[in-house]
């Protein structure tokens, strides 16, 4: 049985990944849009890989097309790992 993952842990993972893509750490918050953080499609592919590696859940291209904020990404991951 998988160990439950706290949303705060998911948030930390997502924030850290976004920083490596060049997002301004001061701008990272749940309601920040991926567009305002200048997250492009390549960054989304890399973010999906980070999520898959860290949490062993699949994130498809369709999934990432349906997210617009950092909170959407966190919620998507939280729903998949629970």
Is 40 a residue of the active site? yes
- Helix, strand, coil shares of the chain, percent, nearest 5, are 60, 0, 40
Selecting among 31, 40, 43, 63, the annotated active-site residue is 40
52: left (phi over 0), alpha (psi -120 to 50) or beta: alpha
Residues labelled as active-site residues: 40
């Amino acid at each position: 049985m998988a160990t439950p993952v706290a949303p705060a842990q998911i948030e930390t993972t997502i924030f850290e990944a976004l920083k490596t893509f060049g997002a301004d750490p001061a701008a990272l918050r749940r309601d920040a849009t991926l567009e305002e953080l200048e997250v492009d499609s390549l960054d989304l592919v890399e973010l999906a890989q980070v999520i898959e590696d860290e949490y062993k859940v699949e994130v498809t291209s369709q999934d990432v097309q349906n997210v617009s904020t950092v909170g959407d990404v966190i919620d998507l991951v939280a729903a998949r790992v629970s």
